[in-house]
């Protein structure tokens, strides 16, 4: 089945193949990706879209010396398979197995670690400039040089982020061996949005892909950017204004669009572009057009469903989703958003390109005029919300915990300092599992609670999540409500929109000696663990403001305090408790349980939590050892 693919253990094996063999290899590779993802789960549609591009890149460029920087990196399975990791694909996204994204530590072919989008052009430009400086230094010493190329491969979705344009702005004035490849499939996870998307569609409609026969010649005829700019200037002087395309205006040499599934177009075009870059023509920009899900009919028809499927039978495809026994926090949020929007017409919902992941599909259907997918643009999403709030609307920004990291200054500068009533619905807080360290929502409590005016709610279960979202919505200042991936304890969820009191916790179990102050969903394992030492358990609900009165009451009536959270211990909710006790001059033994000061790699969430000592067993073991210390 994979006769040719089985002979490829590194890209140099592939470079020996002729065009016909490479086409055959691409077909085998595509089939391997389908079979492999069907057994492990992971990203599918995007990987099927990059099969030929990956083959062509490794054929034309001298990897790993030439650097390929994949944007997001969710489309790198073909790359992993061709770069010596074929046999380990069965371990993808599992503990100790291959990462679902490129990682420098995993392979010398992974030039740059990614998973959050839109960094590729910046990183590849850095590499290209470094290569130039190093080559110049060799030349100065009279030594031979072989300056490598740096290639950024970026999707049209990722291209919508500001950082991609910041990098282009910089690239346009650097004469170096940078090649930017825009992998345009007209899709982000959901359909691509915004004016850039419209513009790319225009480029597509203007001229269809150069035919295989002519593409090589056409590229060689393309002038280097400075020459082209001079030509344009000349024409403008003569009053003949020729509209240049956006990427040319940035100073890159635009080529395309070409068919990204056709090796007969891809290989000669890449060879010619490589030559142009080697000849000192400066940064090159190649526009390739691909199809998400290419070659697997079901994914072609529904690329959204096959963006990140779980395991499936390739012959049957994804099974129709049966409603899960317990609703996810994401769906609880989605339902709350619809219900609150029906009640309050000031509510507007914002997502930076995560309609499905953040649970806004139904909201968009019911309230299309109050739904905003702003593209992969977290910084803009937050400042856009600030603007809406200034004018009396009530924006709810649905954003993953780690993606909010992108918009930190916007949160401080635009939202918090002006004390605007923006609700942040922080999905994927805490450990996320298979996506690994880049997606682990470990830091939000720590990075939010230090910002004045910002409150942070940590619901313990689904019912509280709904109620605390209502509490957040009632406030006239910024409030984040953080909740994890997946489902919770499975408690009944009310249909009303009643809020819980702001900044107040509750005692959930009355015990002796040790009072556990729990923040978020670890309340349930903490309750289980408390039985072993008959500890008191407090559901704190808010990391900020902290219910200091309740804390001091617990400190006064217990011998020790233990805090539990699924965020980093460095500066998290436990630190808030320590600070509050110190402020009140209370000397009391305090133990903080939370995530260690390490990056948590991919794996099954329950196992990862256990490894952090944060399952019921781990918490119980900690409680036993604290009890021993207390009794010493
Ligand atoms: C900063 C950031 N926000 C959101 C995401 C989630 N995300 C992963 S892939 C993706 C869509 C990327 O679209 P595109 O670049 O066009 O690649 P395609 O999957 O279409 O090949 C999004 C929004 C992310 N990885 N990083």
pLDDT digit string, tens, across residues 21-48: 999 999 999 999 999 999 999 999 999 9
> Is residue 8 in some structural domain?
no
460 and 516 inside one domain: no
3-state secondary structure of 412: helix
Say yes or no: CB of residue 422 within 6 Å of ligand 1.
Answer: no
Q: Are 622 and 562 in contact (CB under 8 A)?
A: yes
**pLDDT at residue 228 tops 70:** no
Helix (H) or strand (E) holding 32: helix 19-40
Ligand 1, residue 406: give the atom nearest the CA.
1
The CA 378 to ligand 1 mean position distance, Å, reads 12
> Is residue 464 in some structural domain?
yes
> Is residue 37 in some structural domain?
no
- Band of residue 203 on the pLDDT scale cut at 50, 70, 90: confident
pLDDT reported for residue 202: 85
Q: Which of 52, 147, 248, 378 is catalytic?
A: 378
- Residues of the chain with pLDDT > 90, as a percent, come to 90
Q: How far apart are CA 167 and CA 186, in angstroms?
A: 22
349 and 418 inside one domain: yes
Say yes or no: CB of residue 156 within 6 Å of ligand 1.
Answer: yes
142 and 259 inside one domain: yes
How many separate domains does the chain show?
A: 3
The closest alpha carbon to 597, from 607, 577, 609, 612, belongs to 612
**Which residue among 292, 311, 339 closes a domain?**
292
463 and 513 inside one domain: no
283 and 384 inside one domain: no
99 and 241 inside one domain: yes
* CATH assignment of the domain containing 218: 3.40.50.970
From 72, 290, 309, the mutation candidate for ligand 1 (largest count of ligand atoms within 8 A of CB) is: 72
Strand stretches in 380-531, DSSP E = 394-400, 423-427, 455-457, 479-482, 506-509, 514-518
Q: How far apart are CA 345 and CA 362, in angstroms?
A: 16
Which positions ≥6 away from 289 have C-beta within 8 Å? 184, 185, 204, 209, 256, 257, 258, 259, 260
> Is residue 304 in some structural domain?
no
Where would I find the H helices in 406-478? 408-409, 444-449, 462-474
339 and 408 inside one domain: yes
Q: How far apart are CA 509 and CA 460, in angstroms?
A: 14
Q: What is the mean pLDDT of residues 140-162?
A: 97
**Which residue among 423, 449, 482 closes a domain?**
482
> Is residue 84 in some structural domain?
yes
474 and 514 inside one domain: no
Say yes or no: CB of residue 77 within 6 Å of ligand 1.
Answer: no
- Band of residue 632 on the pLDDT scale cut at 50, 70, 90: confident
338 and 255 inside one domain: no
Q: Which two tokens stand for residue 137?
A: 């230094």
Buried b (16+ CB within 10 A) or exposed e, 30-44: bbbbbebbbebbbbb
End-to-end CA distance of the chain: 67
* CATH assignment of the domain containing 512: 3.40.50.920
Q: What is the mean pLDDT of residues 585-614?
A: 98
- Band of residue 5 on the pLDDT scale cut at 50, 70, 90: very high
pLDDT digits (tens, 9 = 90+) for 406-422: 999 999 999 999 999 99
Q: Does 485 participate in catalysis according to the annotation?
A: no
For 463, list phi and psi in degrees, rounded to 5: -65, -40
pLDDT reported for residue 325: 77
> Is residue 130 in some structural domain?
yes
> Is residue 300 in some structural domain?
no
The model scores a pTM over 0.75: yes
**pLDDT at residue 11 tops 70:** yes
pLDDT reported for residue 220: 46
Say yes or no: CB of residue 535 within 6 Å of ligand 1.
Answer: no
Say yes or no: CB of residue 375 within 6 Å of ligand 1.
Answer: no
221/410: higher pLDDT: 410
Pseudo-torsion of CA 94, 98, 103, 104, nearest 10°?
130
Boundaries of domain holding 277: 50-292
Residue 18 burial by Cβ neighbours in a 10 Å radius (0-12, 13-18, 19+): exposed
Helix (H) or strand (E) holding 624: helix 616-631
- Band of residue 244 on the pLDDT scale cut at 50, 70, 90: low
Average pLDDT, the chain: 93
Ligand 1, residue 185: give the atom nearest the CA.
20
Q: How far apart are CA 151 and CA 140, in angstroms?
A: 26
pLDDT reported for residue 313: 96
> Is residue 312 in some structural domain?
no
**Which residue among 482, 499, 528 closes a domain?**
482
Count of all residues that appear for the chain in the document: 632
Ligand 1, residue 307: give the atom nearest the CA.
19
263 and 370 inside one domain: no
Q: How far apart are CA 119 and CA 329, in angstroms?
A: 29
pLDDT reported for residue 310: 95
167 and 239 inside one domain: yes
96 and 191 inside one domain: yes
For atom 17 of ligand 1, which residue has the closest CA?
Answer: 155
């Amino acid at each position: 089945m994979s006769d040719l693919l089985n002979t490829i253990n590194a890209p140099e094996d592939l470079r020996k193949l002729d065009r016909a063999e490479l086409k055959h290899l691409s077909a085998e590779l595509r089939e391997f990706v389908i079979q492999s993802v069907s057994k492990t789960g992971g990203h599918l549609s995007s990987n099927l879209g990059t099969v030929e591009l990956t083959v062509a890149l490794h054929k034309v460029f001298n990897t790993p010396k030439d650097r390929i920087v994949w944007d997001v990196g969710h489309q790198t399975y073909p790359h992993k398979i061709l770069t010596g990791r074929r046999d380990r694909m069965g371990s993808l996204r599992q503990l100790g197995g291959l990462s679902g994204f490129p990682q420098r530590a995993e392979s010398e072919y992974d030039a740059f670690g990614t998973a959050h989008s839109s960094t590729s052009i910046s990183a590849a430009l850095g590499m290209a400039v470094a290569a130039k400086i190093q080559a110049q230094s060799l030349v100065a010493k009279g030594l031979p040089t072989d300056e490598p190329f740096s290639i950024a491969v970026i999707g049209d979705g990722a291209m919508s982020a500001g950082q991609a344009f910041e990098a282009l702005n910089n690239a346009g004035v650097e004469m170096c061996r940078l090649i930017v490849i825009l992998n345009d499939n007209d899709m982000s996870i959901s359909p691509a949005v915004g004016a850039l998307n419209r513009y790319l569609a225009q480029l597509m409609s203007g001229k269809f892909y150069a035919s295989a026969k002519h593409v090589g010649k056409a590229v060689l005829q393309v002038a280097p950017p400075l020459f082209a700019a001079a030509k344009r200037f000349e024409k403008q002087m003569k009053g003949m204004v020729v509209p240049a395309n956006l990427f040319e205006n940035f100073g890159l040499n635009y080529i395309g669009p070409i068919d990204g599934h056709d090796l007969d177009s891809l290989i000669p075009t890449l060879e010619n572009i490589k030559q142009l870059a080697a000849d000192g023509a400066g940064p090159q920009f190649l526009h390739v057009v691909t199809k998400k899900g290419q070659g697997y009919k079901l994914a072609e028809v529904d690329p959204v469903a096959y963006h990140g499927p779980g395991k499936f039978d390739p012959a049957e495809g994804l099974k129709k989703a049966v409603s899960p026994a317990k609703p996810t926090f994401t769906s609880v949020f989605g339902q709350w958003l619809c219900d609150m929007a029906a009640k309050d017409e000031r509510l507007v919902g914002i997502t930076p390109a995560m309609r499905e992941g953040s649970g806004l599909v139904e909201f968009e259907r019911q309230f299309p005029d109050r739904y905003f997918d702003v593209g992969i643009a977290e910084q803009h999403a937050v400042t856009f919300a600030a603007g809406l709030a200034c004018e009396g609307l009530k924006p709810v920004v649905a954003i993953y915990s780690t993606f909010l990291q992108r918009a930190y200054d916007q949160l401080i500068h635009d939202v918090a300092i002006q004390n605007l009533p923006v609700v942040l619905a922080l999905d994927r807080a805490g450990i996320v599992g298979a996506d690994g360290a880049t997606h682990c929502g470990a830091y939000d409590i720590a990075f939010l609670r230090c910002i004045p005016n910002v409150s942070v709610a940590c619901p313990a279960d689904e019912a509280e999540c709904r109620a605390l979202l209502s509490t957040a919505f009632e406030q006239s200042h910024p409030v984040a409500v953080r909740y994890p991936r997946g489902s919770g304890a499975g408690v009944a969820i009310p249909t009303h929109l009643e809020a819980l009191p702001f900044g107040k916790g509750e005692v959930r179990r009355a015990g002796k000696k040790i009072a556990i102050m729990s923040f978020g969903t670890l309340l349930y394992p903490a309750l289980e663990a408390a039985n072993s030492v008959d500890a008191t358990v407090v559901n704190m609900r808010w990391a900020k403001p902290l219910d200091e009165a309740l804390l001091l009451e617990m400190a006064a009536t217990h011998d020790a305090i233990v805090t539990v959270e699924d965020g980093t211990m460095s500066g998290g909710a436990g630190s808030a408790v320590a600070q509050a006790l110190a402020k009140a001059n209370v000397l009391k033994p305090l133990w903080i349980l939370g995530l260690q000061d390490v990056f948590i790699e991919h794996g099954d969430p329950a196992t990862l939590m256990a490894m952090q000592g944060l399952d019921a067993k781990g918490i119980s073991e900690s409680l036993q050892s604290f009890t021993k210390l207390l009794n010493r």
